[in-house]
Amino acid sequence: MSVPWLFLEIRMPDDLRVLCVDDDRDAGRRTAEYLQDAGFDCLVATTGADALTRLGETRIDCVVSEYEMSGIDGLDLLAAVRGRRDRLPFIMFTSTGSESVASEAISAGVTDYLRKSGTEARKLLRERIRNAVDQCRAERGLAETRGRLEGLHHHAVAIAGAHDRETVVDQALVAADRILDFDVSGIYVLEDGRFVPLTERSYRPEDDLPTVDDGVLGHTYRQRESVLVRDVREDTTAQPDQPEFRSAVSVPVGRYGVFQAISEEANAFTETDRELAELLVTHVTQAFDRLESEADLRRTNEQLQAILDNTAANIYIKDLDGRYELVNDSFRELLGLAPGEAVGKTDFDLQDDAHAEEVHANDRLAVERGEAIQIEETGKFQGDERTYYSVKVPLYGGDGDPVGVCGISSDITELKQRERELQRQKERLDEFAHLVSHDLRSPLSVADGYLDLLGADVDHEYIGKIANAHERMERIIEGVLTLAREGREIGDRQPVSIRALATEAWETVETGAATLAVVDDTTLEADRDRLQQVFENLYRNALEHGAPDDAHELTVTVGTLAADGFFVADDGVGVPESVQEELFEAGESSDPDGTGFGLAIVERVVTAHGWTVELVDSHDGGARFEIRT
């Protein structure tokens, strides 16, 4: 496997131990004494056999050997050492030799070859020993690191496949123990401001759990950076819960918490340990992220499934050939099929060809347009023809090409039946309006004509009463016609100034001595003519029903509401409680001579705009009508 770059810090003994091998005891002693003066720890062996014995008994960092020796010579000793420790530095330091000997030694795997030639040679030997040992230790450390990385890789696979946090944490802490040699460690998450250890494998402090403001754990979490504490006695941040703890390495686990390893030894952790811990924690963080995403996805899927299972609408997905890939329970039950039975079928398999062709054409239309379409379509399932309002959306694959259609179809059969019934009612209302306009006005016109003739020959008080009755009949006819018309849809909307329209409507009404006050203005999107009729009828209602005996004192006020809308208020006598509940019903009036159609027309026009109208108490004691838009 490839090994990522790491800052390599090797734990090395303070001393460097050298084994000097020379059958000339004095020469071996001199070499050893010089090296000891240079700071090395030296052992001396006078035979190859003695050297191999020493090598098996104690730690040796480098062998310095003479070439020519009785018994086992330098090359034989080299071969024996390589058989035991193939990477141990072995320097041939000889007073005799030749190029052929040097070549043979190098071929046999000697680390270095030096001729004894006085003080300079010994100085050079010292440097060669240090370089050889440093290189050997570095190689050994790299090999150990490579092995630890490989071990972490195996545990990373297990972490990546874990199905819950507990398994992730346990796998990570096992790796910390077995691979990184962290005897005491734990993963801690923040709950209610304190670090809580995850699983029984995490070290749990004997005292109170640390808070986010405490010690190295808190610092690591707050700063989102790793911390290497070589000696707690020299680190002001560290606050160990046990006095025997001397060093620690602490790594943030994303936004979740902190991984920490601690030791009773000072300088127990190196930069390499920190980086390996960071690598391990990276796998933990990724696993936590994955588990969280999977949990979110499960919740989303459960919510979507709940919608699919509980909505009354038919929800489905088809491929480009019209084969169903998914149907919800509502649609499946409509089809009369068992779960999964609809998958792979087309509309031609489920209903007659005419209806299936209509549905298939609409599917193709959504794909061709590349956007959602809204359309009414019919379907005949199990002999029952229904009407549906369908929204169909094209679906696309990863390459951007269409792969199918998703649809939601709501049954509007009853709504369409209601629409048809309302249309029939409208037609009957039109017929009624025609009857009122022609069949009632015609005899009324004849009666008015005879009344005029009679009034020319007879002077009687009943003549005026009859004329007033005819006028009231005319107003009733006009009110009925208006009420019939105002139930229809409004015309085009346009911006309308309330101040301008209220003032204009006032001028079309017989107001006498009453006054109008428009206190502020706003602009509404409305059918101008219909909204003017609202003002006119509200004005007439105030003048005819709200005015006191001294009508010249009546004031009608128009203004805007704090919420969207406007009001029309007067300072008259108000509306009697006996008629308030049915005030907007056609024919309802507090005036015996009134028709009762004016406010009914107001309510129809307001409702047609999608607004509401309400009678409330006026601040001036009269009636106040609030129209909320």
What does the pLDDT look like over 532-546, one tens digit per residue? 889 988 998 888 877
Can you say whether the dihedral through the CA atoms of 128, 130, 131, 132 is positive or negative? positive
Distance CA 153, CA 392 (A): 48
Task: Give, for 74, the enclosing helix (H) or strand (E).
Answer: helix 74-84
Rg of the chain over all Cα atoms, to the nearest angstrom: 50
pLDDT score, position 128: 92
The residue assigned the tokens 């009853």 is: 414
What does the pLDDT look like over 113-142, one tens digit per residue? 988 876 788 889 999 999 999 888 888 777
DSSP E strand stretches across 218-336: 227-229, 247-253, 257-263, 314-319, 324-327
Task: Give, for 175, the enclosing helix (H) or strand (E).
Answer: helix 165-178
Contact 422, 343 (CB under 8 A): no
Q: What is the DSSP letter of 202?
A: S
pLDDT band at residue 437 using 50, 70 and 90 as cut-offs: low
DSSP E strand stretches across 95-236: 112-115, 184-191, 194-197, 227-229
Question: 522 and 582, same structural domain?
Answer: yes
pLDDT band at residue 486 using 50, 70 and 90 as cut-offs: low
Structure tokens at 66: 């003479």
Of residues 245 and 436, more confidence is placed in 245
pLDDT score, position 5: 30
DSSP E strand stretches across 192-313: 194-197, 227-229, 247-253, 257-263
Q: Is residue 7 part of a domain?
A: no
pLDDT score, position 7: 33
In the predicted structure, residue 464 carries a pLDDT above the cut 80: no
Q: Is residue 303 part of a domain?
A: no
Question: 195 and 67, same structural domain?
Answer: no
Distance CA 539, CA 550 (A): 17
In the predicted structure, residue 259 carries a pLDDT above the cut 90: yes
For the segment 413-418, the average pLDDT, to the nearest whole number, is 89
pLDDT score, position 621: 77
Question: 282 and 176, same structural domain?
Answer: yes
Question: Percent of the chain, pLDDT > 70?
Answer: 89
pLDDT, mean over the chain: 85
Structure tokens at 160: 């990546």
Question: 514 and 496, same structural domain?
Answer: yes
In the predicted structure, residue 595 carries a pLDDT above the cut 60: no
Q: Could you tell me which residues come within 8 angstroms of residue 403 by beta carbon, excluding any fewer than 6 positions away? A: 319, 320, 395, 396, 397
CATH code of 165's domain? 3.30.450.40
pLDDT score, position 383: 76
Distance CA 455, CA 531 (A): 41
Structure tokens at 392: 């169909």
pLDDT score, position 549: 62
- What pTM was estimated for this model as a whole? 0.50
For the segment 362-378, the average pLDDT, to the nearest whole number, is 94
In the predicted structure, residue 349 carries a pLDDT above the cut 50: yes
Question: 608 and 520, same structural domain?
Answer: yes
Q: Is residue 11 part of a domain?
A: no
Q: What is the DSSP letter of 320?
A: T
Question: 598 and 497, same structural domain?
Answer: yes
For the segment 90-105, the average pLDDT, to the nearest whole number, is 84
CATH code of 66's domain? 3.40.50.2300
Question: 61 and 28, same structural domain?
Answer: yes
Contact 221, 252 (CB under 8 A): yes
Q: Is residue 1 part of a domain?
A: no
CATH code of 403's domain? 3.30.450.20
Strand partners, 612: 628
**7-16, 220-229, 619-628: which range is least confident on average?**
7-16
In the predicted structure, residue 10 carries a pLDDT above the cut 50: no
Q: Is residue 305 part of a domain?
A: no
Q: Is residue 155 part of a domain?
A: no
In the predicted structure, residue 39 carries a pLDDT above the cut 60: yes
**17-31, 85-99, 454-468, 552-566: which range is least confident on average?**
454-468
pLDDT band at residue 4 using 50, 70 and 90 as cut-offs: very low
Q: What is the DSSP letter of 121?
A: H
Q: Specify the pairing of strand 565-570 against strand 555-560.
A: antiparallel
Question: 268 and 238, same structural domain?
Answer: yes
pLDDT score, position 197: 93
Strand partners, 386: 379
Question: 243 and 113, same structural domain?
Answer: no
Of residues 435 and 3, more confidence is placed in 435
CA distances from 604 to 26, 216, 326, 438 (A): 126, 74, 46, 24
In the predicted structure, residue 445 carries a pLDDT above the cut 70: yes
pLDDT score, position 15: 77
pLDDT score, position 401: 94
Question: 284 and 241, same structural domain?
Answer: yes
| 54: three-class secondary structure by DSSP | helix
Question: 552 and 464, same structural domain?
Answer: no
Of residues 454 and 315, more confidence is placed in 315
The residue from 394, 411, 428 where one domain ends is: 411
pLDDT band at residue 374 using 50, 70 and 90 as cut-offs: very high
CATH code of 448's domain? 1.10.287
- DSSP letter string, 450-496: HHHHHHHH---HHHHHHHHHHHHHHHHHHHHHHHHHHTSPP---EEE
CATH code of 537's domain? 3.30.565.10
Structure tokens at 216: 């190295």
What range does the domain containing 510 cover?
A: 490-628
pLDDT score, position 260: 94
Of residues 558 and 618, more confidence is placed in 558
pLDDT band at residue 452 using 50, 70 and 90 as cut-offs: confident
Q: Is residue 189 part of a domain?
A: yes
pLDDT score, position 12: 41
In the predicted structure, residue 483 carries a pLDDT above the cut 80: no
Backbone phi, psi, residue 317, to 5°? -130, 135
pLDDT band at residue 8 using 50, 70 and 90 as cut-offs: very low
In the predicted structure, residue 454 carries a pLDDT above the cut 80: no
Q: How many separate domains does the chain show?
A: 5
Which among 245, 236, 250, 281 is positioned nearest to 264, based on CA atoms? 245
Question: 32 and 126, same structural domain?
Answer: yes
Q: Is residue 315 part of a domain?
A: no
In the predicted structure, residue 475 carries a pLDDT above the cut 60: yes
The residue from 451, 469, 485 where one domain ends is: 485
Mapped to the 3 state alphabet, what secondary structure does 419-459 carry? Answer: HHHHHHHHHHHHHHHHHHHHHHHHHHHHHHHHHHHHHHHCC
Contact 226, 250 (CB under 8 A): yes
Q: Could you tell me which residues come within 8 angstroms of residue 226 by beta carbon, excluding any fewer than 6 positions away? A: 220, 249, 250, 251, 252, 274, 277, 278
CA distances from 376 to 38, 64, 308, 576, 590 (A): 97, 97, 21, 49, 48
In the predicted structure, residue 18 carries a pLDDT above the cut 90: yes
- DSSP letter string, 382-418: TTEEEEEEEEEEEEE-TTS-EEEEEEEEEE-HHHHHH
pLDDT band at residue 3 using 50, 70 and 90 as cut-offs: very low
The amino acid present at 604, given as its one-letter code, is: R
What does the pLDDT look like over 302-314, one tens digit per residue? 888 888 888 889 9
pLDDT score, position 20: 95
What does the pLDDT look like over 556-579, one tens digit per residue? 999 999 889 999 999 888 888 877
The residue from 351, 383, 411 where one domain ends is: 411
Of residues 209 and 585, more confidence is placed in 209
- DSSP letter string, 505-566: HHHTS--TT-EEEE----EEEE-HHHHHHHHHHHHHHIIIII--SSGGG-EEEEEE-SSSEE
